[in-house]
Structure 1
């Protein structure tokens, strides 16, 4: 397998904190999202950004990756597993499965480093047996599947399985697959939410950062906003400032056990579009003349 420099992919330094990682991820995911990007190779770049953030956002995964990176590998170098495999002595023991064909489309490098412990053969591959004989693995589930309650495909020990995700399932809850562990035992999938390029989770609520133009914030506008249930129209009040939060009721994750559905919180991010033509630059010049040099004090 070939080494990947996840820090370089996200454009951050190895010492970057959680907030910096999140900001870089949001910016690049928005830039390369297949639904909006017209750049060549956008889909592959989007996958690479998603994989890099998935690896670095979790402290345990990041620690394991940093230990490997400290051995001096460069992007594209052939990686040699340490003695005992990646989960061997002195390493981090992961039991992890990612949703989607081929473990969520992640590279061989990612799967070897983080995803082998759920029954893959090879050096260092370990499973964690429970007291009842079941094998436990973490299961990173897409938010869309949690919202709708639907089957997702996972790869376990080289086999593809369709796993039905209960609607509104919470992190830490488990899905039992009878007889699907290596050796014929039960496989217990402990749910965690996969990173999403457009949404963050706060309990049952979903947070989405929405870029708006200065004139939309100043004058008000009605814009299309993505939600887990599909795009909806949102009215932005006039005189809105960066950081203002608007609420879409019932557009978050489903409530369970009689609890109400969560909301989607839309946080406004005011961005100035780049002027690419003379007409657009002239429009900015007129704005400068209209607002003058004292606009900051105002």
Structure 2
């Protein structure tokens, strides 16, 4: 709906002409043109004209109304922001599902394995107009894991004596137990377990798992760790065999 014209001005083109403009203008340019035109038409000035003075004011009001938008109606509400597909690191590793609300609808979407934070999940014809939606993905820290890019991060309690003397540490990861060797008094208490990050997907490479060794007096000693691994291998069933 266009702004209503004023009785003294029949059209936008006429309004622009009255202000000495040859095309659309707004803001400072429109104000400057109005001031120059209305000053020249003032009836109390030599060469002024009362009828033209009124038309210039009407033209100014019409162009202002058009610059504000359709009539005095409030601006349309902005579209609702798209929901974020929030998944855990384990769901990013193995794939998973998420429930979303879009435009008053509740949808269950499938997230393929290997999605990274900042990527977008495409939902075909899920928009109100039938268009595809591209929803941002965010991997939130959970289950002792966090994700950054292609890689995963976790901490593992480690006996202070093992950190001082060096040796083998066994770490319980999402893929099962893994061993790593650390040097005596290693300056950086972090080890990298290759290939245990997010899986390769498209142009993204296989990630790694970075484990920060956290000194803890409650962590099992080297002897206790060895006993646990020995017990795991030599179960009663194997000994009976």
Q: TM-score, normalised by structure 1?
A: 0.40
TM-score, L = length of structure 2? 0.48
| Structure 1 or 2: more strand by fraction | 2
Q: Which has the larger radius of gyration?
A: 2
